């Protein structure tokens, strides 16, 4: 396991803050009668630091799937599987699969297929809770489309939530995409929508807990 580069500044700042608060806690509450309070505050501070560090963890994983598989781009829980109208790029009916990422999930995002990035666009917007139906179209978000070598295009969208306030991405139009290679990161709770062809074979169901690289969302027909 490694720690993501997007978190270096936040983790350092959090460590400095916790160190300062711990020093104040030590000076203020180490008298005998206040020792239990000192211990309680230290436990809270250490727990907070641990939660911040674990948010930026990147576990070592090897994707076991092949070129005709569409792999999960993020850790989280499947909250939506439905046929819907995709109006930004395709402007037709697609199967939408949505993955909600809580603050406890790994938040790096990975390409679901290999191919060429055909579309990449950032949209400023609101910060509704990530499971809100309108978050997909009204929240701050980035949309990507990758064309597989078989000609099929897959759209996937990073969506900021009520807590997530920064979307990071590392691809652009014309750049090669490699299945299970990182394309972005969302800080502190978020959602990813994947729009699949209507004839795709869906391999997950609503309520499933999924893992990036290790869960197959669907397969091409």
Q: Which residues of 154-167 are buried (b: 16+ CB within 10 A; e: fewer)?
A: bbbbbbbbbebeeb
Query: Could you give the CA distance from residue 72 to residue 192 in angstroms, rounded to a whole number?
Result: 10
DSSP state of 138: H
Given the residues 98, 135, 136, 190, the one annotated as active site? 190
190 is catalytic: yes
Sort strands 182-186 and 108-110 into parallel, antiparallel or unpaired. Answer: antiparallel
Based on C-alpha coordinates, what's the Rg of the chain?
Answer: 20
Pick from 37, 178, 187: nearest CA to 105:
187
Task: Tell me which residues are annotated as active site.
Answer: 190
């Amino acid at each position: 396991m490694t720690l993501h580069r997007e978190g270096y500044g936040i983790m350092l700042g959090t460590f400095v803050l916790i160190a300062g608060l711990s020093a104040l806690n030590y000076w203020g509450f180490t008298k005998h009668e206040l020792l239990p309070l000192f211990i309680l505050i230290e436990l809270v501070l250490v727990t907070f630091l641990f939660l911040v560090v674990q948010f930026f963890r990147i576990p070592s994983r090897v994707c076991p799937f092949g070129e005709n598989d569409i792999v999960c781009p993020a850790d989280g829980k499947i909250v939506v599987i439905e046929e819907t109208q995709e109006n930004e790029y395709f402007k037709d009916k697609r199967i939408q699969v949505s993955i909600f990422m809580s603050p406890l999930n790994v938040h790096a995002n990975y390409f679901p297929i290999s191919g060429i990035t055909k579309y990449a666009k950032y949209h400023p917007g609101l910060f509704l809770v990530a499971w809100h139906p309108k978050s997909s179209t009204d929240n701050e978000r980035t949309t990507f489309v990758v064309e597989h070598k078989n000609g099929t295009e897959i759209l996937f969208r990073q969506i900021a939530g009520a807590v997530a306030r920064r979307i990071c991405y590392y691809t652009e139009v014309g750049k090669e995409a490699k299945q299970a290679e990182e394309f972005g990161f969302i800080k502190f709770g978020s959602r990813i929508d994947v729009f699949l062809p209507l004839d795709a074979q869906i391999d997950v169901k609503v309520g499933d807990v999924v893992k990036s690289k290790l869960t197959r969302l669907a397969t091409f027909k």
